[in-house]
Amino acid sequence: MDETQRPAGNEMWGGRFAAKPAAIMQEINASIDFDKRLYAEDIAGSKAHAAMLAAQGIISAANEAEIQRGLDLVLGEIEAGKFTFSREREDIHMNVEARLAELIGPAAGRLHTARSRNDQVALDFRLHVKRAFQETESALVRLIEAFLDRAEEHAETVMPGFTHLQVAQPVTFGHHCLAYVEMFARDRSRCRDALARLDESPLGAAALAGTPYPIDRHQTAATLGFSNGPTRNSIDSVSDRDFALEYLSTASILATHLSRLAEEIVIWSTPQFGFVRLSDAFSTGSSIMPQKKNPDAAELVRAKAGRITGALVSLLMVMKGLPLAYSKDMQEDKEQVFDAIDSVGLSLAAASGMVRDMTVDRQAMRRAAGHGFSTATDLADWLVREAGLPFREAHHVTGRAVALAESSGVRLEELPLDVLRGLHPGITQGVFDVLSVDASVKSRRSFGGTAPENVRREIAEWRTRLAAK
């Protein structure tokens, strides 16, 4: 008998079909190779559903006890690596249900009462993404704490601040670290915001219209830890993947921040900059050039951003043309999310490790901070403040001073007073008090500025915030 002509047997929908699907249909239809990752959520959802069915008198207490016992056995087999996943059973739901039937017999058939694979997968996936958000938030806190520790260590370490990757003004490395604290704190906030929105249970929506059974969706929502109770519309419940899109969106912004950090680590660790050194733990060598020590961990974190953002675009394209409610297209929602979850976890761990691991060369940073006439703005501000010039005129005078210093091969603070007075007679010896990089950073005491006292105050504020939440 041809493969496509064999009886459908005990397939879950076999009563409607007289023959098995074509081999290629089975190949494209099966999702067990990746959705087996949802086994813990699937079993937790089934246990909650069985308890509710018994509490509502829909199944007997004896049936529920058998189902709970059997589900615990299945969970134990999977966690022990003794469970055989079958592609013929398509997905994690039917693999678990089939094994449950082998273990406890006919009582297993009552478990699927008042639910569908549509609300079952929506539940499993939502629980999985909820946990991913929580783990991402925790990893972000660890990264923020790493930056706070480095900021505290380097509150007075002077380095060049850049615009256009050109030396702009002196800043402290502690202040630079706090810029990443702000970025990753926003990522953490996005995790928390999205968690509040996804914290509803779709279980009980059934295929799309709800169920005639007297179920208690509030009970299952509470059992499964959904603080906002059950979802309020059965059609939206099974067709919504906003929670997955929000994870990928949040992850994409986070990955962009991580990529910017990784890029700076790559640049800073070059001999041309020499600001930081990564240990052997986060570097690799070359197969042909023995002198090489490559910042591969940072480069890989940088590359993950494209992979994660690609996952977001992929899922947006899957969802953009789907009519309500469920379509099989939505089976293509998981692999990208799973891959992004793994990539985010690895990237955050690597970033935290590199931030804590890297050795900062204070002297290299200080030398670079003095290059490029980085205190030119301080000269212009002094002319406004002490000589009474309008800022635009002060800007012009300062530009001429920079040109003189550049042509003479000296720094601004090395120009003689008489030369400076030749540019404007209002310049006095006091100008040299603001032209050093240390004086420059100490003067930036405006709220959010780079002054060391500001850096220390912000570190204390952020430690208080982290402790409170």
Catalytic amino acids? 164, 286
- Cβ within 8 Å of residue 183, ≥6 positions away: 257, 260
How far apart CA 255 and CA 303 sit, in angstroms, is: 9
How far apart CA 325 and CA 235 sit, in angstroms, is: 6
Phi-psi sector, 381: left (phi>0), alpha (psi -120 to 50), beta: alpha
DSSP annotation string for 52-96: HHHHTTSS-HHHHHHHHHHHHHHHHHHHTT-----GGG-SHHHHH
Q: Give 230's strand partners.
A: 201
Phi, psi dihedral angles at 194 (to 5 degrees): -65, -35
Cα 338 to the center of its chain, rounded Å: 13
How far apart CA 123 and CA 127 sit, in angstroms, is: 6
Q: Give 167's strand partners.
A: 162
Closest by alpha carbon to 203, among 170, 227, 230?
A: 230
Q: Helix axis angle, 117-153 relative to 92-104, nearest 10°?
A: 120
How far apart CA 466 and CA 459 sit, in angstroms, is: 11
Task: Identify whether the C-beta of residue 77 lies closer than 8 Å to the C-beta of residue 24.
Answer: no
Task: Identify whether the C-beta of residue 59 lies closer than 8 Å to the C-beta of residue 110.
Answer: yes
Give per-residue burial for 27-64: e unless 16+ CB within 10 Å, then b. Answer: eeebbbeebbbbbbbbbbbbbbbbbbbbeeebbeeebb
Pair of tokens at residue 437: 């990089």
Sign, CA dihedral 194-200-206-210, equals negative
Task: Identify whether the C-beta of residue 56 lies closer than 8 Å to the C-beta of residue 216.
Answer: yes
Pair of tokens at residue 399: 């530009």
How far apart CA 213 and CA 206 sit, in angstroms, is: 11
Cα 280 to the center of its chain, rounded Å: 26
Cα 431 to the center of its chain, rounded Å: 47
